[in-house]
Structure 1
């Protein structure tokens, strides 16, 4: 079973736009995978709440988690809080923490949704990933793949991928591509699906 955790943070992104319309979740189901692709909470107070939301939809056996962009923070918090439910963690296009320009826009989006200053700090603060310390990343024990945004961009920087590969034990870099719903993703769909299939089949 595969759990897909979509990206976005205060910008109206959902699972349909991130996974269904680009063709990812339908193709995985055609390949025979059971796929869960829930919408993340629209107004979470912190990343732990997102992890609890995801855990509530999971069966009692371990699954492969494929997370995109800011969904990587939610997925890592899930893996830290419920390690018995996560057998593999694929972090695709991980969102970069600590970039002033990117954080300024995210802060404005979250404030427009009515998020408090405390909640905004909880969602944006972090080291390599938002809402996660580097020590916590170093404690991940499951199989982990990191897939860069290629080409890179301000929200998904190469330095974040390099830091994850350095911090997470036995992690590996997977072939990169643009992130959905970027129009450039379509040309990379087949390769991305092959990457997920290989990763989930190990």
Structure 2
């Protein structure tokens, strides 16, 4: 059984691992299947994606897998997909599988304008905003870097229904860019009030991917 590292969504806001994965039942659901779950908090006010990756990368380097574990599966959620992908790129010896769940749409002028306004409203400096919004299909990652993830099993899990921040076109682009990647059954994102009916399905989907 793999160890699973859950990377929650959010960007310069109040979201944390407990609210995203804990109170929604995802952590307990995975644990009930014997999955070893790690769910650290991301940096609250990062200076950029590199700062987030450095913080969680330290967590990875200190990780000691249990006997019989074949490697680490990372599940990134929403804007956490950028961190998850960067960790897989920068720590290829530690990451065995990658699941990009409800990937946040990058490179969309309308979405970026709304996100920029929200980040500035939270007090994020304009130069930091520029860095956080930069990238390709995913923020914080170039499309060329994404193609390199074909060396490991990668899956993409869409938002159901899609919404402006989590668009279907992002899922389709990721599936095209990462050779051999596959789509898993979609769901609403855990913090949403529409998520509870999807809990059991999401847990089963992650467990099946891990194994």
TM-score, normalised by the number of residues in structure 2: 0.91
Offset of 1:60 from its aligned partner? 5.0
Per mean C-alpha deviation after superposition, the further-off stretch among 111-120 and 11-20 is 111-120
Tell me the residue number matched to 1:68: 77
Unpaired runs of 5+ in structure 2?
Answer: 66-70
1:29 aligns with 2:31: yes
**Cα distance in 1, alignment partners of residues 78 and 155 from structure 2:** 14
CA deviations on 1:95-130 (whole Å, 9 max, x unpaired) are 001233332332233224433222111111111000
Tell me the residue number matched to 2:45: 43
Q: How does 1:171-182 map to 2 (within 5 A)?
A: 171-182=181-192
**Cα distance in 1, alignment partners of residues 127 and 88 from structure 2:** 24
**Cα distance in 2, alignment partners of residues 104 and 179 from structure 1:** 22
Query: Contact 2:9 / 2:20 at 8 angstroms: preserved in 1?
Result: yes
1:90 aligns with 2:106: no
**Cα distance in 1, alignment partners of residues 115 and 44 from structure 2:** 13
1:81 aligns with 2:129: no
Matched residue of 1:83: which SS? coil
Per mean C-alpha deviation after superposition, the further-off stretch among 177-186 and 158-167 is 177-186
Aligned CA RMSD, in angstroms, stands at 1.3
Query: Contact 1:92 / 1:148 at 8 angstroms: preserved in 2?
Result: yes
Unpaired runs of 5+ in structure 1?
Answer: none
Per mean C-alpha deviation after superposition, the further-off stretch among 85-94 and 7-16 is 7-16
**Cα distance in 1, alignment partners of residues 48 and 64 from structure 2:** 24
Per mean C-alpha deviation after superposition, the further-off stretch among 102-111 and 28-37 is 102-111
Tell me the residue number matched to 1:114: 123
Query: Contact 1:5 / 1:65 at 8 angstroms: preserved in 2?
Result: yes
Query: Contact 2:12 / 2:124 at 8 angstroms: preserved in 1?
Result: no
Query: Contact 2:8 / 2:77 at 8 angstroms: preserved in 1?
Result: yes
Query: Contact 2:102 / 2:157 at 8 angstroms: preserved in 1?
Result: yes
Tell me the residue number matched to 2:68: none
Offset of 1:45 from its aligned partner? 1.5
1:144 aligns with 2:146: no
